[in-house]
Chains A and B, each alone.
Chain A
């Protein structure tokens, strides 16, 4: 739950004995469809660009933060602690410790909450940078297990004879590479397949999904054109042009969308390439401080970061239902109701997933049968929901989306004059924040 600084408070969510924690500012690189302008970079390059953008935007001295935390999902093995590589490269002091966290699509949420509750609230730090990065233009493709085993044995082989016999043992099957899949390890089901089943379980039609996707793209385009996406920084890509806009926003027509074939469940599925979020490259960063520190440094913080909750459920059949479970919980923790919230930013993994969550939140039966509640959660009103587009249109670099959502809520609260904002995102493994 995010609350802005400027508006007059209807009720304060400050807790006695707990420091007020504020979002000073947040930035992100433009989110680009993977395989486009960022194609030749490495993940830490993107993260570095976001960090440099944050330094520039906030005029933060390079030694003024106590800690840097990054979230990422598919790790580049050379830079497994990508937070450290990016921070050093961005010119932050080498005295600042950095670590990298992972929790699928909510990795940067974990980065932020680790910083807020784990470090600032506990009195370990006063100022931290949290961020996320994902780079899908290049993913680690491995040799097969058999080949790796042979190669490792080759390392240990002492004689030429041993080496030759190992080389001789290589067969065609050894050469088949292992590709990373956007799939659950426990169920071996891909995310899109799961989303399609979820949509079917809640009776979400293809039409509803296409309509929601079109809404996302249309709103994103409007926001982009009217300059609302102020968190986007410009990035001069080495050897390429300056990039300053997201490139996945494509408002189309319902007729165009209807032409697409299902991407995962064939031939009768409803999830298509157009109503799913696409593979994206991008990085984000936010500056978080205790209120005292921010004020002392002369900042005008954008929002209070008040509360959060993580929930998880069955990774097979309820993989993407997290927002339904998490929303009432975090509201109860903060002492708020659905009506108190002025701005909703939900992560749009798939249009079908959002629609399924909305239907689940609107169902008494679901609330009673699966959530142990007496009545339904209630749905967020659409006039408060993802008004500047979402992951479907802006893109979804897995590790970076969480910071984008929080920054967007702060910016929308300021723009729309609201008091409370709520962020929700589902993640692989059936977890949510």
Chain B
């Protein structure tokens, strides 16, 4: 699909070539109000502004005209799009480059343009409403003054690091001067979004403007106009010296500047930050390290070295497989935020959730604030009360963090009804059941529910492994039955895996996807089968993890090996988080369905753990012992004795650290490829997104399919054959993987 992006790029380039006559500018225009030039940006082909080739070309033209215009004393830079100033650089523009040198050149062009802005003899005020990210932020901070609206949509940030890149148009050099070295590192290394009021406190913007309500125009339109009026006044005041551009520094600021002026202190900061980055990223992500290096170059060797380092490192990073993987995930995520099944016949306005457990309450939490009336039903008062408290806590924590007011919290919760009976179910458009994972209970529930709901109501089942068609067998209306597999904790995990059977109607699917999107989820829609896609990939990896434990590797070492490969959570910790009982359940079910291929570790290990009460984090003991209030955890001492009973002899030929890592990962990847081969998956993009967002497959590898492409299917098959020789069919590569191994031109992703 990158080819497609490339064509879009070419197409735009062609258009810009055809219409390069200045009188026909379509992206950037300006008008002079008194002596202030108001420069307006508006990409006619997109909902957001990006710093595309044409945007830059037209901006340069306009800027030249503004400079040459004697009637103009100052300028205001503003976007005509509600909710977006500039969302960033055009990623396609970077991806179209073939070499690091080309990207470096792009970066240098950007640097040059912003340098001219910074040195402009006529002051330029950036008037920011909506997202001001990446290249957009770099543009804004090159301006002399910044005014921003306090709208919730106004966010500033440098998200480049999340795409494996760095701010490549002067950001690494200007930010430390503007917000201080620690603040700049925080912004660039986390890529987090900063709201307007915080940005003001940090010194990133100078003045704030309140968003307006209804007036003689729509609130959005009038707010932009108001922002423009205020920005024009600022521009005039800068010219007539009512606003001084050099701000008086407070005592704290002076003290900080003094301390950071000491080279030793700066060296300590670089060291600390590098240490933190290494700990978090295990050195698997080159971008954060390059950011530190680039900032350091500018501060220690002067701006010339700094800007050069920025451009060169930007070029280098753009060519890394990590950046490629992260950008791929970004595109995939955008694709998985669309409903390819169309608009459902009727929108879900009333939704009921059965079971107020961790999952049920989590689903309620992400639903109730989206304008959907939500019923949370349980069978027991205690369970219901716990679930309601979980939802309340979710929103109350937001109140504490000041992302919502206590009034907003209360009014959101007024849409939530907790109950023990089926009252009001006749009005419900969708039921999501999140009861215990037992086919008989699910059947009982589906029958009870179908007796009370209206004919149009959809029945969604939240299960991690039970085939949906088996659950739907008890239904009178299987076309309305669908699987919605949420991941725990629901409010944090972005993925939703939707499972359709061959009987599920398209409208049911469209409706489920629409609800998921409202809940803010990234969605993959997969075919039915034991374990669907995600659980099916995870199960063989966990089976292998059990075998590794049986072979005498301790949980801490196992965790270190998996996180060292790039998984955010180690395999042993993951098992504890998922729950050993759930893992045992899944291992047994899928073992029955898929046979010896899903073997490896002995299921009895998990079963015995469950018998002894080692169910994972929720029971306080699993692979580790969890003490409430303590972050560090020790290995469960009883586990060692237990594993002793099931001890297997490790074969040294396949037990090196790297081999153990590949044993774990290759089974995961092979199963993912098999899901594509069997048509469970719609395509590799959804496969990669599902694995990364649902199971924590290393983001730097971009997902199992991109991993096969970058690592090489042939090399992977070679390793698997070696493991197969020792362990048998659990490592037999599937046909599709073999096809790719045979033909190196075959790729899952471009």
**Interface: A40 (CB within 8 A):** no
Tell me how far the C-beta of A354 lies from the nearest C-beta in chain B, rounded to whole angstroms: 15
- Is the CB–CB distance between A201 and B214 below 8 Å? yes
**Interface: B183 (CB within 8 A):** no
Q: Which residue of chain B has its CB nearest to the CB of A268?
A: B230
A203 to B225, CA, bound (A): 10
Contacts known (A200-B226, A268-B207, A268-B230); A186 close to B407, Cβ less than 8 A: yes
- Is the CB–CB distance between B210 and A369 below 8 Å? no
A369 to B218, CA, bound (A): 9
- Is the CB–CB distance between B212 and A200 below 8 Å? yes
A370 to B226, CA, bound (A): 20
**Interface: B283 (CB within 8 A):** no
B396-433 contacts to A, CB under 8 A, are 405, 407
- Is the CB–CB distance between A317 and B214 below 8 Å? yes
**Interface: B165 (CB within 8 A):** no
Binds B, one of A119-127, A228-236, A290-298, A358-366: A358-366
Residues of B within 8 A of A305 (CB): none
Contacts known (A185-B407, A268-B233); A317 close to B209, Cβ less than 8 A: no
Residues of A within 8 A of B275 (CB): none
A197 to B217, CA, bound (A): 14
- Is the CB–CB distance between B405 and A188 below 8 Å? yes
- Is the CB–CB distance between A363 and B207 below 8 Å? no
- Is the CB–CB distance between A318 and B405 below 8 Å? no
- Is the CB–CB distance between A203 and B214 below 8 Å? no
Tell me how far the C-beta of B240 lies from the nearest C-beta in chain A, rounded to whole angstroms: 14
Contacts known (A268-B230, A268-B233, A317-B219); A201 close to B213, Cβ less than 8 A: yes
Tell me how far the C-beta of A372 lies from the nearest C-beta in chain B, rounded to whole angstroms: 13
**Interface: B629 (CB within 8 A):** no
Tell me how far the C-beta of B111 lies from the nearest C-beta in chain A, rounded to whole angstroms: 33
CB within 8 A of A187: which of B207, B218, B230, B405? B405
Interface bin, chain B: 10 to 19
Tell me how far the C-beta of B234 lies from the nearest C-beta in chain A, rounded to whole angstroms: 8
A254-310 contacts to B, CB under 8 A, are 265, 267-268
A359 to B222, CA, bound (A): 15
A186 to B407, CA, bound (A): 5
Q: Which residue of chain B has its CB nearest to the CB of A266?
A: B207
- Is the CB–CB distance between A198 and B407 below 8 Å? no
CB within 8 A of B212: which of A201, A359, A363? A201
Tell me how far the C-beta of B223 lies from the nearest C-beta in chain A, rounded to whole angstroms: 8
CB within 8 A of A198: which of B209, B213, B230? B213
- Is the CB–CB distance between B216 and A203 below 8 Å? yes
Tell me how far the C-beta of B289 lies from the nearest C-beta in chain A, rounded to whole angstroms: 43
Q: Which residue of chain B has its CB nearest to the CB of A317?
A: B213
A369-386 contacts to B, CB under 8 A, are 369-370
Tell me how far the C-beta of A365 lies from the nearest C-beta in chain B, rounded to whole angstroms: 6
**Interface: A314 (CB within 8 A):** yes
Tell me how far the C-beta of A278 lies from the nearest C-beta in chain B, rounded to whole angstroms: 23
Q: Which residue of chain A has its CB nearest to the CB of B408?
A: A186
B594-620 contacts to A, CB under 8 A, are none
Tell me how far the C-beta of A431 lies from the nearest C-beta in chain B, rounded to whole angstroms: 16
**Interface: B215 (CB within 8 A):** yes
CB within 8 A of B215: which of A187, A196, A203, A316? A203
Tell me how far the C-beta of B660 lies from the nearest C-beta in chain A, rounded to whole angstroms: 53
Interface string of B187-229 (1 = CB under 8 A from A): 0000000000000000000010110111111110010001000
A198 to B213, CA, bound (A): 7
- Is the CB–CB distance between A318 and B216 below 8 Å? no
Contacts known (A185-B407, A187-B407, A200-B226); A268 close to B209, Cβ less than 8 A: yes
Residues of A within 8 A of B222 (CB): 200-201, 203
B408-464 contacts to A, CB under 8 A, are none
- Is the CB–CB distance between A369 and B213 below 8 Å? no
Q: Which residue of chain A has its CB nearest to the CB of B405?
A: A188
Tell me how far the C-beta of B560 lies from the nearest C-beta in chain A, rounded to whole angstroms: 44
- Is the CB–CB distance between A369 and B214 below 8 Å? yes
CB within 8 A of B216: which of A267, A314, A316, A366? A366
CB within 8 A of B210: which of A197, A359, A370? A197
Tell me how far the C-beta of B212 lies from the nearest C-beta in chain A, rounded to whole angstroms: 4
Tell me how far the C-beta of A420 lies from the nearest C-beta in chain B, rounded to whole angstroms: 29
A177 to B149, CA, bound (A): 32
Tell me how far the C-beta of A371 lies from the nearest C-beta in chain B, rounded to whole angstroms: 10
Tell me how far the C-beta of A259 lies from the nearest C-beta in chain B, rounded to whole angstroms: 15
A187 to B215, CA, bound (A): 19
Interface string of A164-201 (1 = CB under 8 A from B): 00000000000000000000011110000100111011
Q: Which residue of chain B has its CB nearest to the CB of A315?
A: B407
Tell me how far the C-beta of A355 lies from the nearest C-beta in chain B, rounded to whole angstroms: 12
Tell me how far the C-beta of B400 lies from the nearest C-beta in chain A, rounded to whole angstroms: 15
- Is the CB–CB distance between B215 and A202 below 8 Å? yes
- Is the CB–CB distance between B216 and A363 below 8 Å? yes
Contacts known (A200-B226, A201-B219, A268-B207); A317 close to B407, Cβ less than 8 A: no
Interface-central residue, B207, B215, B217, by most chain A CB under 10 Å: B215
- Is the CB–CB distance between A359 and B407 below 8 Å? no
- Is the CB–CB distance between B214 and A366 below 8 Å? yes
Interface string of B226-250 (1 = CB under 8 A from A): 1000100100000000000000000
- Is the CB–CB distance between B233 and A316 below 8 Å? no
Tell me how far the C-beta of A124 lies from the nearest C-beta in chain B, rounded to whole angstroms: 35
Residues of A within 8 A of B230 (CB): 268
A365 to B218, CA, bound (A): 10
- Is the CB–CB distance between A365 and B213 below 8 Å? no
- Is the CB–CB distance between B407 and A318 below 8 Å? no
A305-353 contacts to B, CB under 8 A, are 314, 316-318
A93 to B210, CA, bound (A): 53
Residues of B within 8 A of A186 (CB): 405, 407
Residues of A within 8 A of B209 (CB): 268
A202 to B230, CA, bound (A): 15
A317 to B233, CA, bound (A): 24
Q: Which residue of chain A has its CB nearest to the CB of B231?
A: A268
A267 to B405, CA, bound (A): 26
- Is the CB–CB distance between A314 and B213 below 8 Å? yes
Tell me how far the C-beta of A79 lies from the nearest C-beta in chain B, rounded to whole angstroms: 29
- Is the CB–CB distance between B216 and A370 below 8 Å? no
CB within 8 A of A197: which of B212, B216, B218? B212
A356 to B215, CA, bound (A): 8
Tell me how far the C-beta of A314 lies from the nearest C-beta in chain B, rounded to whole angstroms: 7
A318 to B222, CA, bound (A): 15
Residues of A within 8 A of B213 (CB): 197-198, 201, 314, 316-318
B26-68 contacts to A, CB under 8 A, are none
A268 to B150, CA, bound (A): 14
Tell me how far the C-beta of B213 lies from the nearest C-beta in chain A, rounded to whole angstroms: 2
A153 to B213, CA, bound (A): 45
Interface string of A192-234 (1 = CB under 8 A from B): 0100111011110000000000000000000000000000000
A349 to B218, CA, bound (A): 24
Residues of B within 8 A of A366 (CB): 214-216
A318 to B213, CA, bound (A): 7
- Is the CB–CB distance between B210 and A265 below 8 Å? yes
Residues of B within 8 A of A196 (CB): 210
Residues of B within 8 A of A316 (CB): 213
Residues of B within 8 A of A317 (CB): 212-214, 219
A198 to B216, CA, bound (A): 11
Q: Which residue of chain B has its CB nearest to the CB of A186?
A: B407
- Is the CB–CB distance between B216 and A202 below 8 Å? yes
CB within 8 A of B214: which of A185, A188, A267, A318? A318
A356 to B214, CA, bound (A): 11
Interface string of B498-529 (1 = CB under 8 A from A): 00000000000000000000000000000000
A413 to B219, CA, bound (A): 39
B517-549 contacts to A, CB under 8 A, are none
Q: Which residue of chain B has its CB nearest to the CB of A316?
A: B213
Could you write out 8 A-B pairs with CB less than 8 Å apart?
A186-B405, A200-B210, A201-B213, A265-B210, A314-B213, A317-B212, A369-B218, A370-B214
Lowest 4 CB-CB distances: which A-B pairs, in order?
Answer: A317-B213, A201-B215, A201-B212, A186-B407
Query: Contacts A188-B407, A203-B222, A317-B214 given; 4 further ones with Cβ under 8 A?
Result: A187-B405, A187-B407, A317-B213, A369-B214
